[in-house]
DNA sequence: ATCATAACGCTTTTT
DNA sequence: GCGTTATGAT
């Protein structure tokens, strides 16, 4: 037994002893790891080692339980023990086994820890790192996304809410189709009520925990005609999901919350089960998710939320920054720890980012700092157009590559996926390997969704939506009319469409198509039988064949169909992946769950040496040595709908902050004076965010927005600090060429503006006979100072068999040149990097002929 | 019923 | 510029 004084000393020593395990962390990080009990708000800035803290915190929980954060002393502790521990705390010497025994206080079992993240990727990473640190015990930690945790809970108990536990999950696309159908059946105009926006209303209603009938009643009471109509769609929408035994993304959380609220036994079960609850990316939670998390944590209230209010970028889907801003009010007496030391970026990058985010009002206030060096200034390149912009990025990347950087050190970030095209092309023609993350995702492809729809119908024949998707795909002679009448009957009798077509003969209206329908239901029955006996992967192969889907693609045999076929085969990889991971009894339902919540944002493997292109949103949580943020223009970033909307603007600024803080060493921003987007050209001024970066952190090149006209027409040097080093090739021109060196578009049709190369290759001008690419001018001309009409893009002429040196790829020989449009495709065998196919116009800028 | 073409509209971000 | 959808022809 210890006296009170000794107990206090013991607790301090215990804490210090435990802290030794985390000596690598900085003091604030340690605090966060050791504060195990009670509500904790962890404000973790970008690159502050948030995940590390999370992992170590869990490790602490499992190893020492409450040891580091409580005033309790076991009765068996002796003064000798105290001395031992104090000595260890100071010197690190002592029997580790005994020390651990002394420090430990009710270690948490893995299954009592719930760690929730937003993306599958984050959850996977968390699991991996926990496994690496804690071994197999980590398997039992509930580390998952909101959605998968909820599905797990619902599968167990949703029947208490009257749903079947074999529910299917609708993704946004499915939901949208249902809304469209509802609108049609309710005779509503989908221009007056855009399905997307209707879905938004439904989603917000759910976020406010309002069920369809209540919402309708409320809207009727308010007398708002439009809202009432929308509420009616909500009612109908929900009815259809119910009939299909389906839940949408919001329902998954909503019903979990309802289940916990309504069923005391379920609530108590989880509240007692989860001793520690951790929520990552708390700034991205919406109301529903807050309710869920706080309810689950309601037992022990060991509720740790981690987030960064400055990185909240999902307001559009209901995330409310309020959750993080008001956490302290909701949990009086909670502890707040700020992680403000940044381990990722250089000073220039960090301070520029700080300067930008400082313009936001609704924030907790936080200034990141770093011990890292100044690094290089950020760079803004003002391009002439989107093409020039892309070429600039490509050139920079080639340059870095030639200096020894890896491709994968580079990331290109843009505001919207539509911007990726030009960049993709620039990479292609310059021989830069790249990967696009996001965009049309694998599981969003029509052919993949078709195959998944087959699986979904086999899993749940009441899934009318999926059924109608595949009933005539591939074509089976079951037309729209037949489907429509079957749907009507189904609705009338309150049964599923499948049961109607399965008994088609009983309905005179369907008599004519009964044969065709029977063929289809037989197919399903046959597959269903097969499913019972075959393992999932083999079954899937049968599915591809017996449905006729594979055959359909094979016979068409266009380029697209080839890739489609590959895609549906690729689904087999997913199945195998599932079979490997799902240790206990893999089921079709289990697989469908997994892919319903899966996006292929998750499979960006960092080992592949590729430049990575993605939206700024997708980049959250990632880091790269070199980052290009493109399209930094008013109207794009910030987007038009943010201009004039202070709230939206702050969100855009946060997005900007996220994008900028991805960069470790170099950060390039680019904008274009003129850009074609969505088929329209527009001239945008550089983004206000750029103006918010102090000049001491930013250097500029290209042409500024204001002197666009003068430099275009007169070629007067627009700024002394003009672009100076186009990868060595354009380094010495002091004046301005009319065309940017990066421009890849056909040149103006005036002889003075045409380079010899373009004249040879240009669309209207066939190359002169007698040496296809015979020089018309000597080597690349360097513009005279102030020179106006030089042809900077002109290059020497290359021909098959030439030995060349490429600035990034080194020495090589031209294998072939193939004319293509206004350009040519060259195939070059490089000594070191293998054979590459490049577009000549781009490549020429980086190549010299070896004589 | 199915294919082809035209017209149309729509463009953030995603679990 | 894209993809989707509505319409008409086979």
CA angle in degrees (0–180, nearest 5) for A634-A438-A132: 120
Q: What residue has its CA nearest to the C1' of B9?
A: A191
Q: What residue has its CA nearest to the C1' of B11?
A: A678
Residue A421's nearest nucleotide, by CA–C1', is: C1
* Tokens 């990316």 found at: A281
Determine the distance from the C-alpha atom of residue A341 to the mean position of all C-alpha atoms in its chain, rounded to a whole number.
Answer: 25
Instruction: Please check whether strand B approaches the CB of A189 to within 7 Å.
Output: no
**Long-range Cβ contact pairs of A123-127 (< 8 A, separation 24 or more):** A123/A148, A124/A602, A125/A51, A126/A51, A126/A54, A126/A55, A126/A280
Which candidate, A397, A418, A395, places its Cα nearest to that of A407?
A: A397
**Strand C nucleotides in reach of protein CB atoms, 7 A cut-off:** 1-2, 4
Tell me if residue A829 falls in helix, strand or coil: strand
Of the candidate ranges A185-194, A324-333, A560-569, A788-797, the one whose mean pLDDT is the lowest: A788-797
Q: Supply A492's token pair.
A: 């009338």
Cα–Cα distance for residue pair A620/A617, rounded to 1 Å: 6
- What does DSSP say about strands A680-682 and A675-677: parallel, antiparallel, or unpaired? antiparallel
Q: What is the pLDDT of residue A604?
A: 58
Instruction: Please check whether strand C approaches the CB of A173 to within 7 Å.
Output: no
Strand B neighbours among A 37-96, CB < 7 A: none
Instruction: Please check whether strand C approaches the CB of A446 to within 7 Å.
Output: yes
**Strand B nucleotides in reach of protein CB atoms, 7 A cut-off:** 1-3, 9-15
Rounded average pLDDT over A466-480:
87
Rounded average pLDDT over A356-384:
92
Higher pLDDT, A581 or A326: A326
Number of residues in chain A: 851
Q: Is the pLDDT of residue A234 over 90?
A: yes
- Say which of A236, A280, A351, A823 is annotated catalytic: A280
A369 in Cβ contact with A722 (< 8 Å): no
Instruction: Please check whether strand B approaches the CB of A438 to within 7 Å.
Output: yes
Residue range A159-175, pLDDT digits in tens: 999 999 989 999 888 89
Instruction: Please check whether strand B approaches the CB of A416 to within 7 Å.
Output: yes
Residue A190's nearest nucleotide, by CA–C1', is: B9
Q: Supply A402's token pair.
A: 């030639």
Instruction: Please check whether strand C approaches the CB of A97 to within 7 Å.
Output: no
A697 in Cβ contact with A355 (< 8 Å): yes
Instruction: Please check whether strand B approaches the CB of A145 to within 7 Å.
Output: yes
A152 Cβ partners below 8 Å, 6+ apart?
A: A144
Residue A418's nearest nucleotide, by CA–C1', is: B11
A281 is catalytic: yes
pTM of the model: 0.85
Span CA (A834) to C1' (C2), Å: 35
pLDDT band per the 50, 70, 90 thresholds, residue A773: very low
- Say which of A50, A338, A620, A666 is annotated catalytic: A50
Span CA (A820) to C1' (B10), Å: 32
- Say which of A662, A688, A739, A836 is annotated catalytic: A662
- Say which of A51, A228, A485, A776 is annotated catalytic: A51
Residue A120's nearest nucleotide, by CA–C1', is: B15
Q: DSSP letters of A640-698?
A: GGGTT-HHHHHHHHHHHHHHHTTEEEEEEEEEESSEEETTEEE--PBPHHHHTS-GGGE
Which candidate, A28, A40, A654, places its Cα nearest to that of A339?
A: A28
Q: Is the pLDDT of residue A610 over 70?
A: yes
A575 in Cβ contact with A613 (< 8 Å): no
pLDDT band per the 50, 70, 90 thresholds, residue A601: low
A51 is catalytic: yes
Strand B neighbours among A 616-655, CB < 7 A: 617-618, 639, 641, 648
């Amino acid at each position: 037994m210890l006296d009170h004084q000794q107990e206090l000393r013991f607790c301090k020593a215990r804490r210090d002893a435990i802290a030794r395990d985390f000596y690598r962390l900085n003091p604030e990080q340690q605090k966060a790891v050791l504060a195990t009990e009670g509500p904790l708000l962890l404000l973790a800035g970008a690159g502050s080692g948030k995940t590390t803290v999370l992992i170590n915190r869990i490790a602490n929980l499992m190893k020492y339980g409450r040891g580091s954060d409580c005033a309790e002393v076991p009765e068996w502790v002796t003064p000798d023990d105290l001395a031992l521990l104090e000595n260890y705390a100071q010197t690190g010497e002592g029997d580790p086994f005994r020390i651990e025994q002394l420090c430990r206080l009710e270690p948490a079992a893995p299954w009592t820890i719930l760690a929730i993240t937003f993306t599958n990727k984050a959850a996977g990473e968390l699991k991996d790192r926990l496994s690496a640190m804690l071994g197999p015990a980590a398997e039992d930690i509930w580390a998952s996304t909101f959605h998968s945790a909820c599905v797990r809970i619902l599968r167990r108990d949703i029947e208490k809410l009257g749903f079947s536990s074999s529910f299917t999950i609708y993704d946004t696309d499915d939901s949208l189709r249902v809304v469209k159908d509802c609108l049609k059946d309710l005779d509503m105009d989908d221009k007056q009520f855009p399905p997307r926006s209707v879905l938004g209303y439904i989603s917000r209603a759910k976020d406010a925990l309002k069920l369809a009938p209540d919402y309708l009643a409320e809207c009727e009471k308010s007398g708002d005609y439009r809202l009432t109509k929308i509420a009616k769609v909500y009612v109908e929408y929900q009815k259809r999901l119910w009939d299909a035994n389906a839940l949408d993304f919001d329902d998954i959380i909503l019903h979990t919350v309802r289940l916990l609220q309504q069923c005391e036994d379920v609530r108590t079960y989880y509240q007692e089960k989860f001793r520690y609850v951790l929520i990552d990316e708390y700034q991205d939670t919406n109301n529903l998710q807050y309710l869920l998390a706080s309810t689950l944590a309601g037992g022990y209230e060991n509720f740790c939320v981690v987030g960064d209010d400055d990185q909240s970028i999902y307001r559009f889907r209901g995330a409310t920054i309020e959750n993080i801003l008001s956490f302290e009010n909701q949990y009086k007496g909670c502890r707040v720890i700020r992680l403000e030391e940044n381990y990722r970026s250089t000073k220039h990058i960090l301070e520029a980012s700080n300067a930008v985010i400082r313009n936001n009002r609704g924030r907790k206030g936080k200034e990141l700092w770093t011990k890292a060096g100044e690094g290089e200034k950020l760079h803004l390149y003002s391009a002439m157009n989107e093409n020039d912009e892309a070429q600039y990025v490509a050139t920079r990347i080639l340059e870095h590559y030639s200096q020894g950087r890896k491709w994968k050190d580079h990331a290109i970030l843009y505001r919207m996926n539509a911007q990726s095209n030009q960049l993709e092309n620039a990479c292609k023609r310059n021989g830069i390997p790249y990967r696009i993350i996001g965009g049309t995702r694998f599981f969003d492809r029509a052919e993949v969704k078709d195959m998944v729809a087959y699986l979904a119908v086999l899993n749940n024949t009441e899934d009318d939506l999926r059924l109608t998707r595949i009933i005539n795909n591939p074509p089976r002679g079951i037309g729209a009319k037949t489907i429509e009448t079957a749907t009507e009957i189904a609705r009338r009798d309150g049964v599923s469409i499948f049961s109607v077509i399965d008994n088609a003969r009983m309905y005179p209206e369907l008599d004519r198509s009964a044969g065709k329908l029977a063929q289809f239901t037989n197919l399903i029955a046959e597959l269903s039988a097969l499913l019972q006996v075959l393992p999932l992967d083999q079954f899937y192969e049968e599915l591809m064949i017996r449905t006729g889907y594979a055959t359909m693609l094979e016979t068409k045999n266009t380029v697209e169909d080839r890739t489609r076929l590959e895609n549906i085969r690729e689904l087999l990889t997913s199945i195998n992946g599932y079979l490997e991971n799902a240790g206990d009894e893999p089921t079709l339902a289990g697989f469908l769950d997994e892919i319903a919540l899966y996006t292929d944002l998750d499979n960006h493997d960092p080992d592949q040496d590729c430049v990575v292109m993605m939206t700024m949103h997708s980049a959250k949580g990632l880091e790269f040595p070199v980052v290009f943020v493109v399209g930094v223009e008013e109207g794009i970033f910030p987007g038009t709908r943010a201009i004039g909307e202070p709230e939206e603007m702050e969100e855009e600024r946060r997005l900007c902050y996220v994008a900028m803080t991805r960069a470790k060493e170099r950060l390039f921003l680019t904008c274009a004076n003129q850009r074609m987007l969505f088929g329209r050209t527009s001239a945008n001024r550089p983004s206000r965010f750029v103006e918010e970066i102090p000049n001491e952190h930013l250097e500029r090149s290209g042409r500024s927005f204001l002197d666009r006209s003068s430099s275009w027409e007169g070629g007067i040097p627009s700024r002394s600090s003009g672009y100076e080093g186009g990868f060595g090739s354009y380094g010495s021109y002091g004046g301005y060429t009319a065309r940017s060196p990066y421009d890849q578009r056909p040149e103006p049709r005036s002889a003075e503006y045409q380079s010899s190369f373009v004249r040879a290759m240009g669309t209207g001008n066939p190359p002169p006979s007698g040496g296809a690419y015979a020089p018309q001018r000597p080597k690349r001309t360097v513009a005279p100072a102030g020179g106006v009409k030089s042809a900077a893009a002109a290059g020497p002429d290359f021909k098959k068999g030439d030995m060349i040196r490429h600035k990034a790829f080194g020495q090589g020989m031209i294998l072939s040149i193939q004319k293509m449009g206004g350009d040519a495709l060259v195939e070059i065998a490089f000594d070191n990097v293998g054979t590459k196919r490049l577009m000549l116009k781009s490549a020429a800028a980086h190549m010299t002929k070896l004589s």
